[in-house]
Structure 1
């Protein structure tokens, strides 16, 4: 058991959310009835705070839910629409605390989605300046360049799904791979500018196929959800290790 304030302080120190200009509030989004003095025994992590994930968190006896995609986003209507209202009723009715970490969790060099993807693919990695300031993506490097088909097979194993592969220059092996999880297909021109061989992200855009061919850079799109499952699990594992809480991960299996 630990106090909510101590868990959040640990995560804030680790992720430094104040460094990022984000599209959503990072950190605590919904406080529990006892506020920061709430006692936390079970932490549940999930990629997104949708009703399925929140319902499973309640069923698992969660006290704190940590997600990558939280409840509130810039540009959303100011009045609650029915889906968000139902999610809030579920959280508030169960007395859950809910915290979200978005770009800070993409960009962290050890527990970030992108660094963990690079590690799982068998590559070393460093922040990729072309992905923003601070960088949210990484440049992954392989000791031996991989044929595109071999890299795609590794991605399938790591993400648990077959990626959409949009080839660039024919027969171009991959030694330098940009990894930016989620929806970062728009970075393909920057990947070409920086001399990368391929870009791994979650979602494609309609122009992605043509740009890959024209720029000569491979695009591998492995699913927004599937590329962002590792970071929240790493946070939950950290809290369990450092604070003695129980951790459960909820995977909703979102195919997008």
Structure 2
């Protein structure tokens, strides 16, 4: 399959045209025409690019690519080195941000629901493209028990902010990555707990004052699984040789 056909295939599945994003989704850097070997990973860092070069990949497929709104436009410095590495080694760079967060079966949030054993999953927002999700645990857990589940699943100890009046957890809402500001909407809808990747200073007070458990589980840790699932789908359904490479990131 050539690179533009792969982009069409990914666009058909992820439907980036349906959501307003902060970066271009799809083929960001053009490389070789024919694609057989794909490396997937969370962020198109130099370390991941070097790993793709080592794997003789034709394409690098990531969640966090380049050309974000508000970033400096010149292709110099770190950005220049990354893009030169891709072009010199004929590697295509594909990136899908919010479309991968919200995909109902392959997305980051869908994968977190599966990993945390959440049922009755639906959007937290009243829109078909809700970025945050909500549902119910299969069993009621204490805050400490749910923190342990998150740590076991993500291999990362979460930061747990308890509400002023401690309570058990049955209903949860979540948003992978930097979705901490959905916590107020989760509290308004009566959720017992909210999970995101990142935490802001204000999030602590919101959780305590609105009576909701909050778990900061790591931006990278909460967004490993969508891109991994997307690569597995390409391998299983379309015959590509795909390798997921996880570049450790403590954030």
Aligned to 2:225: 230
Which blocks of at least 5 consecutive residues in structure 2 are unaligned?
none
Between stretches 43-52 and 116-125, larger displacement belongs to 116-125
- The equivalent position to 1:99 in structure 2, one of 74, 94, 100, is 94
Between stretches 110-119 and 236-245, larger displacement belongs to 236-245
Report the alpha carbon displacement of residue 207 of structure 1 after superposing the two structures with TM: 1.1
**Matched position secondary structure for 1:58:** helix
Aligned to 2:213: 218
Q: Distance in 1 between matches of 2:12 and 2:170?
A: 33
Q: Distance in 2 between matches of 1:132 and 1:184?
A: 16
Report the alpha carbon displacement of residue 131 of structure 1 after superposing the two structures with TM: 8.2
Q: Distance in 1 between matches of 2:247 and 2:166?
A: 36
* Counterpart check, 1:144 vs 2:139: yes
TM-score by length of 2: 0.95
**Matched position secondary structure for 1:207:** helix
Aligned to 2:53: 58
**Matched position secondary structure for 1:225:** helix
**Matched position secondary structure for 1:130:** coil
* Counterpart check, 1:27 vs 2:26: yes
* Counterpart check, 1:197 vs 2:192: yes
* Counterpart check, 1:255 vs 2:250: yes
Aligned to 2:35: 40
Q: Distance in 1 between matches of 2:153 and 2:82?
A: 30
Report the alpha carbon displacement of residue 133 of structure 1 after superposing the two structures with TM: 6.0
**Gap change, CA 1:24 and 1:125, over 3 Å in 2:** farther
After superposition, the C-alpha distances for 1:66-108 in whole angstroms (9 at most, x for unaligned) are 1000011000112224111111011111100011000010001
Q: Distance in 2 between matches of 1:123 and 1:30?
A: 37
Q: Distance in 1 between matches of 2:169 and 2:222?
A: 19
**Gap change, CA 1:205 and 1:123, over 3 Å in 2:** same
* Counterpart check, 1:49 vs 2:44: yes
Which blocks of at least 5 consecutive residues in structure 1 are unaligned?
none
Q: Distance in 2 between matches of 1:130 and 1:67?
A: 26
Between stretches 156-165 and 121-130, larger displacement belongs to 121-130
Q: Distance in 2 between matches of 1:3 and 1:11?
A: 12
In angstroms, what is the RMSD of aligned CA positions? Answer: 1.5
Aligned to 1:9: 8
Report the alpha carbon displacement of residue 3 of structure 1 after superposing the two structures with TM: 2.6
Aligned to 2:103: 108
TM-score by length of 1: 0.94
